[in-house]
Amino acid sequence: MAVALRRSRELDGRDGWTVPQVRAHQQSRLTDLVRHATAHSAFYRELYEGIDFGDEAQLECIPSIDKSALMDRFDDLVTDPRLRLADLESHLDELTSDELYLGEYRVVSTGGSTGHKGIFVADRGEWREYLAGLLRVNAYMGLWPRLPRRRRVATVAAARPLHVTYRMSRSLDIGLHRVLRLDATAPVEQLVEALNRHRPEFLYSYPSVLTLLAAEQLDGRLDIAPTTIVSSGETHTADLVSTVRAAWDVPWFQIYGTTEVPTLGAHCSEHTGLHLFEDMAIVEVVDEHDQPVAPGQTGHRLLVTNLVNRTQPLIRYAISDMVAVAPHPCPCGRPYRLLTAVEGRNDDILRLPGVDGGEVAIHPLALRSPMAAVAGLKQYRIVYDHPRLTVRVALRAGAAPGPTEAAITRGLLDTVASHGAAPLDVDVTVVDRIEGGRDAAGKFKVIESIAEPSNATSRTAP
């Protein structure tokens, strides 16, 4: 943490760079990363065979990769031969807090916004750099240690060590602030009670959870007065923003991050868009043919190069979010490009009959968590149509269908029961690949409800 604090101050200094300085830094780090990956990763040696990079790696000459390639060739892609996918999955199964693998690596997993499961690894130095990036964002928001008074902070997010948000929160929590960590999948009554006691000044959560909390505030059950709101992880729709603003009209900072690159961008105090932290990642906004799109135009996907992680190199790695880059710089003067629109892949909140009557709303994160814990899972899609959850899964080569189906069924049933929902049927089917699930805009919905809306009184569990 001490190293991360020092590094964050160095990152703050980069805000005074010029755009050419940023581009020179990216070029140097990219060339070094490509050479390291080629020397230490069998996957990249094979992928780059026949490419002459010369003195400097040229981005446009580098093939892109996706999560399927990452997971299918995991053992060949990582640069430490001690890292093996099967062993990392066993490590994830046994995680209870912030344990390190081999005393050196943090391992996290994600169910994925497109249903593809991913496992990601960072060594101690890389993790410190991630923490420094998040501390830089905290400084943008005014969340910096101010003695003698510690700030009251509440986070309502992932509560399992599989998730990068949980692990980063644990790493940063050394008593600088009075932090209350709540599980985003807990019943909303529990969240309201805890937040009313803590009375946070800074409130962080996912946009969909903020919407539910805002409704509780407007109905008088929640009574807090945060001075700053922070959100990440989902698309911020106009309806969502309107609801939250009606409850708390205070500065609202958005963070754009992924499990692969925990802090890709964030608001500054100008709130004109999300600054891309281009000193830590190269972000390309491209069309369906991986050609760059013009500023102001929404791309088909992103190609992201993580300039920090050398353990698990991610070079021109495809992320399916659709974003647009602002044609003009931010008035704050920082040298980083701005994102003016981020259209992620939004899943549905499932509203299930409660075991005691009424209705229980279950946040998609609650269903993604057990899926992220299933070894051998490649991709999945969950559709709810009362009284059944239909789950289609694609498995990696060598995964045993029977045990995988049983683990998924058990995990989903336990999740539904823990939220007070009435029992339902879970139908798990193994398929070669996931078909369908895309809307008119091409967005893939991993968790979808097609059940008729109920008129029952709702008691929500985000």
pLDDT digits (tens, 9 = 90+) for 196-248: 999 999 999 988 789 889 988 998 999 999 999 999 877 776 667 888 999 99
Instruction: Write out pLDDT tens, residues 379-428.
Output: 788 999 989 999 999 888 888 999 999 999 999 999 999 989 999 999 99
65 within some domain: yes
Residues 304 and 417 in one domain: no
Residues 246 and 164 in one domain: yes
Instruction: Write out pLDDT tens, residues 4-23.
Output: 888 998 999 999 999 999 99
* 174-178, 206-210, 318-322, 405-409: least confidently modelled range: 174-178
What average pLDDT score do residues 104-115 get? 80
pLDDT at 458 over 60: no
270 within some domain: no
* 250-259, 300-309, 435-444: least confidently modelled range: 435-444
User: What band does 457 get if pLDDT is binned at 50, 70 and 90?
Assistant: very low
* 211-225, 288-302, 412-426, 444-458: least confidently modelled range: 444-458
**For the chain, how far is it from start to end, CA to CA, in angstroms?**
31
pLDDT at 280 over 90: yes
| Amino acid 462: pLDDT | 34
Instruction: Write out pLDDT tens, residues 141-163.
Output: 888 765 456 789 999 988 888 88
CATH code of the domain in which 172 resides: 3.40.50.980
Chain Cα centroid distance, residue 372: 13
Give the span between the Cα atoms of 335 and 276, in whole angstroms.
9
Contact 342, 283 (CB under 8 A): no
Helix, strand, coil percent content, the chain, rounded in steps of 5: 30, 25, 40
User: What band does 460 get if pLDDT is binned at 50, 70 and 90?
Assistant: very low
Residues 62 and 153 in one domain: no
Residues 310 and 388 in one domain: no
114 within some domain: yes
Q: Read off the pTM.
A: 0.79
- The per-type count for the chain, helices as H runs and strands as E runs, is 13, 21
| Amino acid 341: pLDDT | 75
| β 388-395/425-430 pair status | parallel
Residues 115 and 146 in one domain: no
pLDDT at 459 over 50: no
Structural domains of the chain, count: 3
Domain that holds residue 15: 2-123+281-291+300-326
Give the span between the Cα atoms of 370 and 92, in whole angstroms.
12
Residues 66 and 173 in one domain: no
Residue-averaged pLDDT of the chain: 88
Over pLDDT 90: what percentage of the chain? 58
Characterise 172 by phi-psi region: left (phi > 0), alpha (psi -120 to 50), beta (else): alpha
131 within some domain: no
Residues 117 and 148 in one domain: no
Give the span between the Cα atoms of 8 and 61, in whole angstroms.
32
What are the DSSP calls for 307-373, one per residue?
SS-SSS--SSEEE--EEEE-SS--TT--SS-EEEEEE--PPPPEEEEBTTSSEEEE-HHHHHHHHHT
| Amino acid 439: pLDDT | 45
Higher pLDDT: 459 or 436? It is 436
Residue 307, burial from CB neighbour count under 10 angstroms (0-12, 13-18, 19+): buried
Residues 9 and 114 in one domain: yes
Residue 20, burial from CB neighbour count under 10 angstroms (0-12, 13-18, 19+): exposed
- CA–CA distance from 126 to each of 97, 132, 307 (Å)? 19, 10, 10
415 within some domain: yes
* 3-7, 111-115, 180-184: least confidently modelled range: 111-115
391 within some domain: yes
Residues 116 and 14 in one domain: yes
CATH code of the domain in which 362 resides: 3.30.300.30
Long-range CB contacts for residues 75-81, cutoff 8 Å, separation at least 24: 76/41, 76/42, 76/43, 76/46, 77/41, 77/42, 77/43, 77/44, 77/312, 77/313, 78/41, 78/121, 78/311, 78/312, 79/36, 79/37, 79/40, 79/41, 79/310, 79/311, 79/312, 79/313, 80/105, 80/311
| Amino acid 437: pLDDT | 59
